[in-house]
Amino acid sequence: MRLADTPVPARAAEDAGEVTAAGQSPEGQSAADPSAADSSPAGASPAGASPADSSPADSSPAGASPAGAVPVFAVAVAALGAARDATAEVRDDLDFEEWPAPKRLAPHAIALAATAYRDGEEAGSGRLMLLYDPAGQDGWTGTFRVVVQVHADVEEEMAADPLLGQVGWSWLTDALDLHASGYRAPSGTVTRVITEGYGAKEDEPPSTGFELRASWCPDDDEIADEIYGAVLAWTDALVAAAGLPVQPPGTRALDSRARVSGGRGRRRR
């Protein structure tokens, strides 16, 4: 059985670590490879960083203009919120929430998290961070950078398939081609994660997981549409990894052209 011929099965996914890199890593990694991230629990300061380094840059809810944000960043944030709301309207298997973006990565940043559910059980998780630096950064092709992370548990046989990396990367790039075709300078990694228990956990069966970390620069000239499309592409990659249908039966296809409303997303009850 090959990955290319078999849909990804849904298994309960562990909470993915916080994405903390997008232009450079905590150790100063070049912006040309912004896919690196640490595995600190959400809300925890990255290793070696002071609390001031990991405080939110602009932690207002997605869809609301962060305090002090420049107009172009406010437009991008509104597009992010509109795409989240549009997705929440047609998918009751995704739950969105905001989380604080580390301040040290860019002068302006905002972040969004999503959890995918299958039959009421967690099947995958993802995070998206939008960075804005009016001066740009090394490795960027403009003033914005989008950073995403997707995690899902997969069967051991699938984790061992050599096509996993290629197919996992294509889940994102195919979705970007569809929804946000102006993306530039993509960079990322696909990782197979094997978790084994020892000691008190030695009776727990091993689990294998898929993790995608990626970043790219949207087209500054079409920033609202590009950020709207980036959210759709990220959620498409998440549901593919979690083994969910890209479009739930009986729902309309999402339009990749931004319809900015500035509203807030629904939360799972």
Establish how many alpha carbons lie within 13 A of residue 129's alpha carbon, considering only the half-sphere containing its beta carbon. 30
Find, among 233, 259, 260, 254, the residue nearest to 88 by Cα: 254
Cβ contacts of 6 within 8 Å, gap of 6 or more: 158
70 phi, psi to nearest 5 deg: -75, 155
- pLDDT tens-digit series, residues 170-222: 999 999 999 999 999 999 999 988 788 899 888 888 788 899 999 999 999 99
Establish if 124 belongs to a structural domain. Answer: yes
150 in any annotated domain: yes
Residue 34 lies in a domain: no
Residues 146, 132: Cα–Cα separation, whole Å: 9
Q: Strand, coil or helix: what is 79?
A: helix
Give the residue from 243, 57, 220, 88 showing the smallest Cα distance to 150: 243
Q: What is the largest CA-CA distance in the chain?
A: 55
Query: What is the reported pLDDT for 202?
Result: 83
Kindly give the parts of the chain with pLDDT less than 50. 1-56, 58-61, 63, 65, 67, 258-259, 261-269
- Per DSSP, 44 falls in state S
Is 38 a member of any domain? no
Whether residue 262 is contained in a domain is answered as no
How many domains is the chain built from?
A: 1
Instruction: Answer yes or no: is 146 within a domain.
Output: yes
Q: Does some domain include residue 208?
A: yes
Give dist(CA 195, CA 12) in Å, integer: 13
Residue 70: its pLDDT value, please?
Answer: 84
Does some domain include residue 265? no
At residue 252, the pLDDT reads: 55
Beta bridge partners of 149: 127, 213
pLDDT attached to residue 40:
36
Residues 71 and 223: beta-carbon distance below 8 Å: no
* Segments forming the whole domain that contains residue 129: 9-22+56-241
Comparing CA positions, the residue from 126, 211, 194, 188 lying closest to residue 160 is 194
Q: What is the pLDDT at residue 59?
A: 46
